[in-house]
Amino acid sequence: MSDENQSKCRAVCLISGGGTNLQAIIDNIKDKSLKIDLISVISDNPAAKGLQRAEKEGIDATIFDFSSFEDRKQFDQCLEKEMVELDPDLIILAGYMKILNSSFCNSFAGKILNIHPSLLPKYKGLNTHQRVIDNQERLHGASVHFVTSELDDGPVIIQYQCNIENNDDRHTLQKKVQQGEYIIYTKAIQWFSEKRLSIESGRIYIDGAPLNEPKVIKHD
């Protein structure tokens, strides 16, 4: 998906599954609301539907099948080597379900974004929609953050917030939250690509000003 504009932010997307966030990114690139060059999609899961989404758009799609590596160390080394060769300006984790090791995170410090389906720092990890229901939370959502080598950690840039209604179950919540994910991820990626968003010494800056609280978009 290269383009006439050479100075565009060159991004790589890492996925593990369905790739609806990837699809939203692709759609936004196509309708020009997101001005990045998505140079490659990499999946650790050969069955990830997101791979087909990339191929359909002619985007280079690579499988790093975890099960075909000797061990985790070898997998991590090969992934990092591939990324060093690609040399992207931005790495977008879009439903990538492996933790990146500290060597990878250090090599690409300040260049990795992740989206997570909860209002971080609450509900890191899996099954967030069911866990908020079980805990009778009234508010849920999604967060975009810079990545560190800790699970779903790192300074939060923007959050999407929605109320949990009495009739919500994990499926309705997932749907609601994912619609919000597409909005906040596009915003954060666009800010980054325009060099409006950065991180220095663990502190986020937007338009040159430190961000003390994550930006918030509320479900209407």
Residues that bind ligand GAR (CB under 6 A): 17-21, 50, 94-95, 115-117, 142, 152, 178, 181
Q: Which residue is nearest to ligand GAR (CB)?
A: 95
Structure tokens at 126: 């899996």
- Active-site pick, 116, 129, 140, 145: 116
User: Closest distance between ligand GAR and the C-beta of residue 70, in Å?
Assistant: 26
Query: Which CB atom, from 21 or from 148, has the smaller least distance to ligand GAR?
Result: 21
State the DSSP string of 159-218.
EEEEE--TT--HHHHHHHHHHHHHHHHHHHHHHHHTT-EEEETTEEEETTEE-SS-EEEE
**Which region, left, alpha or beta, applies to residue 110 given φ > 0 means left and ψ of -120 to 50 means alpha?**
left
Q: How far is the CB of 103 from ligand GAR (least distance, A)?
A: 20
- CA separation for the pair 136, 134 (Å, rounded): 5
Is there a catalytic annotation at residue 219? no
Minimum CB separation of residue 5 from ligand GAR in Å reads 26
Structure tokens at 18: 């369905």
Nearer to ligand GAR, 19 or 88 (CB): 19
- Residues annotated as part of the active site: 116
